[in-house]
Amino acid sequence: MRKIILNISSFIVILGLLGACGQDAPMTVKKGAGYEPAATATAERTVLPRLFDAVGTVQAKTDIRVEAQVTGRVLEVLVRPGDRVDKGARLVVLDSRASETRLDRSRQAVSSARSMAAQARDALASARAAHTKAESTYRRMNQLFEQKVVTAEEVEKAEAAYLQAKAALNQAEQGVAAAEARAREADKVVQEAEISLGYTTITAQEPGEVAKRLVEPGDLAFPNKELLTLHTGGSMHLEAMVREALIGRIKLGDSLSVVITALNDKEPLTGVVQEIEPLADPVTRSFLVKVRLPERPGLYPGMFGRLLVPLGDRETVLVPREAVRRVGQLETVMVKSNEAWQPVYVRTGESVDGKIEILSGLSGGETVGLSREEVR
């Protein structure tokens, strides 16, 4: 009796393995046994493209890091993630008191430098007049000395006065140059202070959407510290890693299908290959491919996506969805054999235009029954 029970158990296990492999089960629903399909269809053998899924991430066309150019306490943050901003819109306001004080001091320094330059120019004018007079006197004394009218001592005195006036003129010219240089430097400091004051109000350089807000009022902002992130450039793109064995199948400008799971679209998006980095990752042996995506509501940076890389064609069998019956993990299709309906265990694949792919169990051309519940 024990041997009989073991043999029956082994036979049941063998039947289960055959069913899991897609083989027809030996059970048959005889005609009139109760199964009546709502409709029938023919298992269609067709050719579908073979596709490789390259996983990737949706990215914005351009990400702009909004950073502070000066050090200051944050007074206001005028935007939040998701806000659309125009070019020139105010984003963050910093405490400007230090910059205003610096600007006032710089303007006072400019005023003082300009006053000193004006005084130096007045002194230069006086030195030029004195030099001109001394030079004229010296020349006249030389002429009179040649005419034996004045003595050599008088000529030497006139020459000394002329040389002294010339030295004073050179000194005055140098004083004017130095004063004007100081005035220019003070003007430069004022310009820098004005620019620094302008940096206390941070504005958008391009229209876009606020993606991240990394600062709050009261925080300290300083150069190279990121305050906000803006997504600009409009359309998104998918960045996917494609293994080196398949990179030769992709060319710039190719149109490829992209599946964004979060969108729940029945049909994949169509993207255009806009960039292929010519350097493979030495660890994964994959190339980064960027595919421009069409405008689509609900599409955001950071979403998971799959780039479908075509590998050629493959033959497969398609049946209507209503033909597949599921009980737990088992899938069956009722196939008409002569005048009887026979359940056949199958393994399904992808959905294609309302039909489902049969990976094993059917070879095509069979008449299959459609479930009455599914048809209704």
Q: What is d(CA 198, CA 289) in angstroms, rounded to the nearest whole number?
A: 40
The CATH topology of domain 53-63+233-312 is Elongation Factor Tu (Ef-tu); domain 3 (2.40.30)
Domain boundaries, the chain: 19-48+314-375, 53-63+233-312, 97-196
CA distance 106 to 374: 83
Cβ proximity of 212 and 81 under 8 Å: yes
| CB within 8 Å of 246: residues ≥ 6 apart | 52, 54, 309, 311
The full length of the chain comes to 376
**CATH architecture classification, 19-48+314-375:** Beta Barrel (2.40)
Q: Which of 316, 327, 322 is nearest to 361 (CA)?
A: 316
Tell me the mean pLDDT per 10 residues along the chain, length 376: 46 45 41 67 85 89 86 93 89 91 89 90 92 91 86 89 92 92 90 89 88 92 91 81 91 92 84 92 92 86 90 86 86 86 87 84 87 52
Indicate the average pLDDT of the chain: 84
Q: What is the pLDDT of residue 3?
A: 46
User: How far, in Å, CA of 20 to CA of 359, rounded?
Assistant: 12
Res 4: pLDDT: 43
